[in-house]
């Protein structure tokens, strides 16, 4: 949710908003990028994040639903 609203956030901002450590946020971002859920683009000294809303959720009970359905609820 945070990345879709604020694609130019710093890892520190993401961690503070979500309530986790920066190290945990970095690990989660790396996992999401590796899985194709997030694309990370380097712009100067900062990153920009793009959520791939067309992918489906990973959890088996929600695996038939696209991420875009959740993003629409909160936008």
Q: What is the C-alpha to C-alpha distance for residues 18 and 2, in angstroms, rounded to an integer?
A: 8
Chain Cα centroid distance, residue 25 = 10
Number of domains in the chain: 1
Burial class of residue 33 in the structure, from the number of CB atoms within 10 Å of its CB (0-12 exposed, 13-18 middle, 19+ buried): middle
**pLDDT for position 60:** 87
How confident is the prediction along the chain (75 residues), in pLDDT tens digits per residue?
A: 899 999 999 999 999 999 999 999 999 999 999 999 999 999 999 999 999 999 999 888 888 899 998 888 887
Kindly report the CATH number assigned to the domain that includes residue 41. 1.10.10.10
* Range of the structural domain that residue 38 is part of: 2-74
- Which pLDDT belongs to residue 62? 86
Report the pLDDT value the prediction gives residue 74, as an integer from 0 to 100. 81
C-alpha–C-alpha distance, residues 62 and 47, integer Å:
29
DSSP at 20: S
């Amino acid at each position: 949710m945070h990345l879709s609203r604020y694609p130019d956030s710093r890892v520190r901002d993401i961690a503070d908003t979500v309530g986790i450590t920066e190290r945990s946020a970095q690990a989660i971002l790396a996992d999401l990028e590796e899985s194709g859920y997030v694309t990370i683009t380097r712009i100067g000294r900062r990153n920009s994040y793009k959520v791939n809303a067309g992918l489906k959720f990973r959890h088996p009970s929600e695996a038939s639903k696209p991420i875009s359905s959740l993003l629409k609820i909160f936008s």
